[in-house]
Structure 1
Amino acid sequence: MENFSMEMRYDVGDCPNYNCSAKGLLLPIICEYTWTPATRAALYLIGLFYSFLGVAIVADIFMCSIEMITSKTTKIKVAIPNTNETEEVEVKVWNGTVANLTLMALGLQRSLNLFLLLSIIEIVGNDFQAGQLGPGTIVGSAAFNLLVIIAVCVAVIPDDEGRRINHVKVFFVTAFSSLFAYIWLYIILSVNTKGVVDVWEAILTLMFFPILVIIAYVADRDFCGRKVSVTMSALELGIKIE
């Protein structure tokens, strides 16, 4: 209250001298230090709820768009065995593994994306120095998704039921990548250049994502474990093989 009473002595022209005038990137927009704390708290809560509502609407539309893109199908001709006839079947254009690691992950992890955007805004506004949010916010959210959400998904399975991983190789690739991400973050922040992220480290970190998608796609199609014969490819196109 003493600080508030001292702030009340300022004139409107003394807004730059207000203690909180330079605390945020966007707020305060106007000189509001002469208002009562209750009025200011109510207005900030309304603005906060309005922002949450906007984010929810955008995330919902974004997720519906991603589902529409990943569910797109196309028709191909498949030869009927022991006949000269073919039939058309619908197959998905997007590979399931690639869709889950790219667009679906981007939509499902929209809360993490908000943390990432806030951290980027903070770093840009803070002369590329880590602020109060920093990388710990993103790491904490990712750790929560990795540990808590997976634990809840396993715990809610009834005792008389079970679940099976269809693509074990893809699961191993993504599990290793999840653990490697924490190890790599520790290396670039605490071992190599402590507290500093070099440009080459940032570029290499960004390149890890397309590498992960490619390796997961190879594991999903099992290119290294089986051979795709010309006969199977011809049957999908409806070409008769003697």
Structure 2
Amino acid sequence: MAPLNSNSSEIMHGGSINSGHGKCPFYLLFHFETTLGLGLRGFLYFLALAYCFIGLSAITDRFFRCMETVVKQSRAVEEIDPTTNSKVIRNKKVWNYAVADIALLAFGTSFPQISLATIDAIRNIGGLYAGGLGPGTLVGSAAFDLFPIHAVCVVVPKAGELKTIADIGVWLVGLFWSFWAYIWLYIILEVWTPNVITLWEALFTVGQYGLLLMHAYAQDKRWPFVSLPMKRDERPEDWVPEETPRCRKGDEDPHNYSGIHEEQSLEDNIPQKDDLASIWKRQFIDAVTLETAESRKVNSPCLSLAKAFWKLLIAPWRFLFAFVPPYQIAHGWIAFLFSLAFIAGIAYVVTKLTDLLSCVTGIHPYTIALTALAAGTSWPDLVASKIAAERQITADSAIANITCSNSVNIYVGIGVPWLINTTYNYIAYKEPLRIENVGGLSFSLLMFFATSVGCIVVLVFRRLTLGAELGGPRHWAWITSIYFMMLWLIFVTLSSLRVSGVI
């Protein structure tokens, strides 16, 4: 891969090496790319970007399995039975669910954006200006999380099925920190130190992630003085219901699964007595096996061809991710970390492709980050929330993943990269970090805040009228979904027009 760093800061700060008027000298893999027309190169780089997003989608389901395994971990606790006064051994969950939603689910599904922003900060280290790729992606991702993901989750439950938030207090805590995150970002960009970020502002931004975790835990445990006196519905101990074991290929009735679940290997079918080497081997076999019993039963030739094409398309990703160790090892922790490493690797390629797209098309990188990158890197959020809305008994994790991911985007996704850059600038230059395109970023923050109010109002209205945030009568679910998508289109359109100077 050819180096792009020599002029990447110029690209990201609005300087356009080609801006559609000349050749873009950079290339992704081979030098002959520079001999192609700019339009063709832009099309090819866009396809490569889309393929990276497919990879993120494929790894997300494996990550979600790892996260579930980690959360289900329990430990033996010795207690005294008050009735018999004898010692009793009970298994208690290691993880608090409220903390797990924020520290594992929200952080993990936001890791593509966090990786992208951190990579952008590292390659711009030493410059007086922060890279614009990270903040644009993270603000756009927040809008994608709040609107399109809510739009998907609200129609996922079966017709008439209602899924409600069991612990409304924890959700309100997450919602508060989510809104405050963007208010805080606006304050430090426009009010206290306009156009610059100081070291202490970056430190406090990152530190608020810890405050969010503490507040969520305090609310879940109903600590006095720091928790809201909100009634909590009973949340089942096993909040992820046990799944019906899938049949092996060739059985009379293979389980019918679709969408992202097609990415899941059949490793769950391996009996417990099989050793981990056999399970890992099975992952590779599943990755290179294109035809399944399900696909052989498809009657429509067109549908069968489409499924075969899709399996062929994702086969390289499935083979690559087969190197992720089985989640049965170490309670899922090793697979969890490996999944994050693969996500970071894809994010690195995405940053290179974004540079090239900006270079060959002349489109402002902030616009690309706000739209294509935000949607693509938020795909794991969408998949995780969709799976949670489908498989979990309550709506807590599906919706908590949305609100908490938005908080993580700011406190970690923007805070950590800014902390890297401000620390370096403080040591090397004794100067704060300057922010490029503050006006466009601040306008996006205001637009997000305004449209998000419209989203939350509808969720509260559904709670009061239908008794649930997700599901319900089919027509009302679809009306809500369309409304959320309209809010997202309004945000993206106005923010893009502002960056381009139209408004």
Identity %: 37
3-state SS, counterpart of residue 25 of structure 2: coil
| Aligned partners of 1:67 and 1:104 also within 8 Å | no
State the partner residue of 1:232: none
For residues 73-104 of structure 1, the C-alpha deviation after alignment (integer angstroms, 9 at most, x for no partner) is: 11223433421334332211111111111011
Say which is worse superposed, 177-186 or 140-149, in terms of deviation.
140-149
Say which is worse superposed, 59-68 or 32-41, in terms of deviation.
32-41
- Mapped partners of 1:54, 1:144: distance in 2: 19
Distance 1:46 1:148 in 2: 22
Q: Bigger CA drift: 135-144 or 52-61?
A: 52-61
Deviations 1:17-47 (A, max 9, x none): 983125xxx7365353234679856864674
Deviation of 1:193 (Å)? 1.9
Aligned to 2:203: 203
In structure 2, the CA distance between the partners of 1:155 and 1:33, relative to structure 1 (3 Å rule), is: closer
State how far apart, in whole Å, the 2-side matches of 1:128 and 1:78 are. Answer: 59
Unaligned stretches of 5+ residues in structure 2: 1-17, 226-503
More displaced 10-residue stretch of structure 1: 191-200 or 116-125: 116-125
Q: What's 2:465 paired with? A: none
**Given the superposition, is the C-alpha separation of residues 28 and 132 from structure 1 closer, same or farther in structure 2, using an over 3 Å criterion?**
farther
Residue number in structure 1 paired with 2:115: 117
C-alpha distance in structure 1 between counterparts of 2:119 and 2:55, whole Å: 18
AA partner of residue 117 (structure 1): S
Instruction: Name the residue aligned to 2:35.
Output: 34
Give the C-alpha shift of residue 185 in structure 1: 0.8
8 Å CA contact 2:120, 2:131 repeated in 1: yes
Query: When the two structures are aligned, how many residues end up with a matched partner?
Result: 204
Q: Structure 2: how far apart are the matches of 1:79 and 1:161?
A: 41
Preserved contact between residue 123 and residue 129 of structure 1 (Cα < 8 Å): no
SS of 2:165's partner is coil
Q: Which residue of 2 aligns with 1:9?
A: none
Partner of 1:21: 25
Q: Find the residue that maps to 1:90 and give its secondary structure.
A: strand
Q: Which amino acid aligns with 2:24?
A: C
- Indicate whether 1:143 and 2:114 are aligned: no
Larger radius of gyration: 1
- The answer to whether the 8 A contact 2:113-2:134 is kept is no
CA RMSD in angstroms, aligned pairs only: 3.5
For the structure 1 residues 56 and 194, does the alpha-carbon distance in structure 2 shift closer, same or farther, using more than 3 Å as the test?
same
Which residue of the partner structure matches residue 65 of structure 1?
A: 66
Residue of structure 1 equivalent to 2:462:
none
| 2:95 aligned partner | 94
Number of the residue aligned with 1:221? 221
Aligned equivalents of 1:185 and 1:209: distance in 2? 14
Partner-residue secondary structure (3-state), 1:33: helix
Contact between 1:77 and 1:88, CA under 8 Å: does it hold in 2? yes
Measured in 1, the distance between the counterparts of 2:145 and 2:56 equals 20
Query: What's the secondary structure of 1:82's corresponding residue?
Result: coil
Matched residues in 1 for 2:156 and 2:49: separation?
33
- Quickly say closer, same or farther: Cα 1:160–1:49, change in 2 above 3 A: closer
Please name the residue that 2:190 is paired with: 190
**Offset of 1:58 from its aligned partner?**
4.1
In 1, Cα distance between equivalents of 2:152 and 2:60: 23
Q: Aligned pair in 2 of structure 1 residues 121, 63: CA closer, same or farther (>3 Å)?
A: same
Partner of 1:106: 107
Q: 1:69, CA displacement in angstroms? A: 1.7
- For residues 129 and 85 of structure 1, the distance between their equivalents in structure 2, rounded to whole angstroms, comes to 66
Q: How does 1:50-61 map to 2 (within 5 A)?
A: 51-52=52-53, 54-61=55-62
**Residue pair 2:23, 2:34 contacting (<8 A) in 1 also:** no
- Structure 1 unaligned regions, length at least 5: 1-16, 226-242
3-state DSSP of counterpart to 1:166: coil
TM score, norm. by length of structure 2: 0.35
Question: Residue deviations 1:204-235, cap 9 Å, x none?
Answer: 0000001110111111111217xxxxxxxxxx
- What corresponds to 1:228 in structure 2? none
CA contact (8 A) 1:97 1:217 kept: yes
Question: Does the C-alpha gap of structure 1 residues 132 and 27 become closer, same or farther in structure 2, counting only changes over 3 Å?
Answer: farther
Partner of 2:84: 83
Deviation string for 1:174-229 (max 9, x for gaps)?
1111110110011011112222221111110000001110111111111217xxxx
Q: Decide which moves more: 122-131 or 85-94.
A: 122-131
Give the Cα–Cα distance (whole angstroms) in 1 for the partners of residues 192 and 147 of structure 2. 27
Tell me if structure 2 keeps the 8 A contact 1:119–1:134.
yes
Q: Structure 2 CA distance, aligned partners of 1:55 and 1:193?
A: 36
C-alpha distance in structure 1 between counterparts of 2:96 and 2:60, whole Å: 23
